[in-house]
Structure 1
Amino acid sequence: MAPLHDEKAADDSTQRPISNILFIIAMQTEASPLVNKFKLAEEPDSVFPKGVPWVRYNGKYKDLNINIVCPGKDTTLGVDCVGTVSASLLAYASIQALQPDLIINAGTAGGFKAKGASIGDVFLASDVAFHDRRIPIPVFDLYGVGCRKTFSTPNLAKELNLKVGKLSTGDSLDICAEDEAAILANDATIKDMEGAAIAYVGHLLNVPVLFLKAVTDIIDGDKPTSEEFLQNLNAVTIALDLAATKVVDFINGKSCSEL
């Protein structure tokens, strides 16, 4: 299907200097280096509903107010609340409470070597779509895939020499045959568990979203995904930290239209 253009994010607000950036990051391991890099402090007085495990860090970096939010740990099992449900809820609540000019969904992802991805590569997503929302009814099928263009940042991609590719999102770490076929149909280079959900919320609430994804595992490689992900997580998070810092440095002093 043809991607939906995020026309709502291309209004006059893109001409104002960016002052308020919101990072949405699924795992604490992915967030911690950036929290330290930007010298952010955890906010004990939560702007979120009582009882949710969501965590917020805030501070100033150069001319920017930066918030990093994470969905936190599952209150029963103690693991990171990954996936589309937590991501979409957190994105909605954070936009309402913090009123960001720009969202950056930073995190790790699987990559396809057949599409040019290698361990440690950092990609900007040009398009996002779901691969596990199968609704085989006319028009509902297109809604399920939810393919849309992301907020365009050609100057940022060129200046930082970042790879650009399409992102496919689903709630499972592994891939069944149906998911694999859908990912191929999405022409995806990278795969995650949150991106398209955050894109949907950003589109609804008229906030531009960038997707910065570092490759931890090669989906079409010869190693089990879970094993390769855990093996590379810490090292790849360092690459993500460096790329995200460069992105924020580039953004400082610019409007969305200059990205």
Structure 2
Amino acid sequence: MPIPNLDLPVESHPTLNQRYQGSIEKVMIVFAMEEEGSAFVEKLGLQEVRGGDLRLPFRTFHKEIGAIELVVRFNGLDSKSKVSCVGTEYATLNTHLGATDCEPNLIVSAGTAGGFDYLGGEIGDVYLSDGELGFHDHRIPIPGYDEYGLGNYPSTPITNLPLVLNAKLGRVSSGNSLDSTPRDLDIMRERGIAVKDMEAAAVAKVADALGIAFISLKSITDLVDSPEQTPEVFLRNLQMASERLQTSLVKLIDHLSKGRKFEEL
């Protein structure tokens, strides 16, 4: 087996300033659950695109709308359990394959999430990501690895979108469990986290690695710091939160379809 030439030039990806320049032309939205985004796809009349690795559960939809090309990707259903592929693993792979295939210049992680009562969060609120995203359950207490585990992945700076979408701004943290350990809660409080989900930071990490602009749009189903049991509250509010998410996503696409530059966000 030949030894790879490590002296070959490596293609660099855009810096933060570079990735936020120019017009938004191709948008890729990534959902974990079809319950969160199927009504949005149907409302805008996107068509499913067949192809890709059929061993994987991902589904892709596409449509050109005004000044943008819109691609929507779902993580799909797990072949064994027949439930949605929630969590960071499939979000990472789905985002990477989708971004490699369609080369968007804006990636959106869309879905539902938990909020925090002590920060003024309410069930049904819609949040846009603010600042950097990270993980609250990647705990590696070794110098250097501790920062790597928690992560800091940038969200596109936005000023006008909260008004356009009637959305709040808040920092987002992701983890692979629906509930939270006491240490998870401590980390999120220390970082000023307003939104807890299971995918956004993974999508942001891939976007950052590829040099692609990123935002997260999440609708709140439950309050993390509430005494109520999260699974019951999540299931009770999933449809309502998904409907509010759809309303915000339709506004987002309508706004972007008119031809927008990153500096206008």
TM-score, shorter chain, exceeding 0.5: yes
Verify: 1:33 aligned to 2:39, yes or no: yes
Verify: 1:101 aligned to 2:105, yes or no: yes
For 2:22, which of 12, 16, 21 is the aligned residue? Answer: 16
What letter is aligned with 2:225?
Answer: D
Following the alignment from structure 1 to structure 2, what is the Cα–Cα distance between the partners of residues 148 and 154? 19
Verify: 1:146 aligned to 2:151, yes or no: yes
What letter is aligned with 1:100?
Answer: P
Identify if the C-alpha distance between structure 1 residues 100 and 73 changes in structure 2 by more than 3 Å, giving closer, same or farther.
same
Q: Which residue in the other structure is 2:95 paired with?
A: 91
Following the alignment from structure 1 to structure 2, what is the Cα–Cα distance between the partners of residues 149 and 119? 26
For 1:248, which of 250, 253, 258 is the aligned residue? Answer: 253
Q: Decide whether the 8 Å contact of 1:73 with 1:80 is kept in 2.
A: yes
Q: Decide whether the 8 Å contact of 2:104 with 2:212 is kept in 1.
A: yes
Q: Decide whether the 8 Å contact of 1:8 with 1:203 is kept in 2.
A: no
Following the alignment from structure 1 to structure 2, what is the Cα–Cα distance between the partners of residues 241 and 148? 25
Following the alignment from structure 1 to structure 2, what is the Cα–Cα distance between the partners of residues 159 and 72? 30
State the Cα distance separating 1:235 from its structure 2 match. Answer: 0.8
State the Cα distance separating 1:10 from its structure 2 match. Answer: 2.3
Q: Which secondary structure does the structure 1 equivalent of 2:160 belong to? A: helix
What is the correspondence of 1:70-89 to structure 2 with a 5 Å cutoff?
A: 70-89=74-93
What is the correspondence of 1:1-259 to structure 2 with a 5 Å cutoff?
A: 8-11=15-18, 14-44=20-50, 46=51, 48-126=52-130, 127-252=132-257, 253-259=259-265
For structure 2, the residue ranges without an aligned partner over 5 or more in a row are: 1-12
State the Cα distance separating 1:7 from its structure 2 match. Answer: 7.5
Q: Decide whether the 8 Å contact of 2:60 with 2:71 is kept in 1.
A: yes
Q: Decide whether the 8 Å contact of 2:135 with 2:175 is kept in 1.
A: yes
Q: Decide whether the 8 Å contact of 2:154 with 2:214 is kept in 1.
A: no
What letter is aligned with 1:10?
Answer: N
What letter is aligned with 1:112?
Answer: F
Q: Decide whether the 8 Å contact of 1:129 with 1:186 is kept in 2.
A: no
With the length of structure 1 as denominator, give the TM-score of the two structures.
0.92
- Deviation larger for 217-226 or 78-87: 217-226
Identify if the C-alpha distance between structure 1 residues 75 and 132 changes in structure 2 by more than 3 Å, giving closer, same or farther.
same
Q: Which secondary structure does the structure 1 equivalent of 2:242 belong to? A: helix
Q: What per-residue deviation string (whole Å, max 9, x for no partner) do you get for residues 69-116 of structure 1?
A: 011000111010000000001111101001112111110000001011
Q: What per-residue deviation string (whole Å, max 9, x for no partner) do you get for residues 108-150 of structure 1?
A: 0000010111010000111311000111011111111102331
Larger radius of gyration: 2
Following the alignment from structure 2 to structure 1, what is the Cα–Cα distance between the partners of residues 97 and 199? 15
What letter is aligned with 2:146?
Answer: D
Q: Decide whether the 8 Å contact of 2:30 with 2:110 is kept in 1.
A: yes
For structure 1, the residue ranges without an aligned partner over 5 or more in a row are: 1-5
Aligned residues: percent identity? 34
Task: Give the count of matched residue pairs.
Answer: 251
